[in-house]
Amino acid sequence: MEEFNTNMELRVLLLAIYKAPSEDSLKDVLKTMENSNVFDLKTGKKYLKKLKELDFLNDNGLTFIGTQKAKEVELEFKL
């Protein structure tokens, strides 16, 4: 959990998944992040794995915990 709190790219990815249109796949979100020069595809895949380890993400998308965390991150960016 400490890594999530200190890794801005991981937090931005969670927020991007939360904000992505429902028809976008996780791969689409990773490609968008790569095209925006946030990180490369390989790093994005590592981050997805980390989000799954933290139980923020599963095969169906964001978990309840992941959605709550994404909302917290969104509020931080609004401040």
pLDDT exceeds 80 at position 79: no
Run of H or E residues at 58: strand 57-58
Dihedral sign (CA 67, 44, 9, 38) = negative
Structure pTM? 0.92
- What pLDDT, in 10s, does the model give residues 32-57? 999 999 999 999 999 999 999 999 99
Tokens 């992505």 correspond to 20
Q: Measured between alpha carbons, how far is 1 from 23 in angstroms, rounded to an integer?
A: 29
Domain positions in the chain: 2-78
pLDDT range class, residue 12, cuts 50, 70, 90:
very high
